[in-house]
Amino acid sequence: QVQLVQSGAEVKKPGASVKVSCKASGYTFTSYGISWVRQAPGQGLEWMGWISAYNGNTNYAQKLQGRVTMTTDTSTSTAYMELRSLRSDDTAVYYCARDGGSYSNWGQGTLVTVSS
């Protein structure tokens, strides 16, 4: 069965960077994109961006341009999301999702806390 397993919770100071991983299994990794979605405490879902696992093409939400980088490692079927210059309002649960148009499979989420 399709599984997306994310890395564990992180605590970072303002200005630092975080890199979250998402290891996929149960399907051909390069046949789908991976999208990243975050959810601040008590808030809704925010689309962050997308990466093609086939060729590495990316598209990022305008508000995160310049601070976010999404990559993949096809040898390990793993996607990564790096967010730089962290601020307190980046505190959120970060999800990866298999992107076949809609998101039929999600990772379990990674809590990133930004606090001094």
Partner 1 sequence: EIVLTQSPGTLSLSPGERATLSCRASQSVSSSYLAWYQQKPGQAPRLLIYGASSRATGIPDRFSGSGSGTDFTLTISRLEPEDFAVYYCQQYGSSPWKTFGQGTKVEIK
Would you tell me which residues interact with partner 1 (CB under 8 A)?
33, 35, 37, 44-47, 49-50, 59, 61-62, 95, 99, 101-104, 106-109
Distance from C-alpha of 83 to C-alpha of 75, rounded to nearest angstrom: 23
CB of 95 to partner 1, least distance (A): 6
Nearer to partner 1, 86 or 107 (CB): 107
Nearer to partner 1, 16 or 45 (CB): 45
Nearer to partner 1, 83 or 97 (CB): 97
CB of 102 to partner 1, least distance (A): 4
Indicate the pairing of strand 3-6 with strand 10-12: unpaired
Nearer to partner 1, 17 or 55 (CB): 55
CB of 115 to partner 1, least distance (A): 21
CB of 14 to partner 1, least distance (A): 26
Task: State the burial class of residue 50 (Cβ atoms within 10 Å of its Cβ: 0-12, 13-18, 19+).
Answer: middle
Asked if residues 81 and 20 have their Cβ atoms less than 8 Å apart, the reply is: yes
Residues 6+ apart with CB under 8 A from 55: none
Tokens of 109: 């989420």
- How far is the first Cα of the chain from the last one, in angstroms, to the nearest whole number? 40
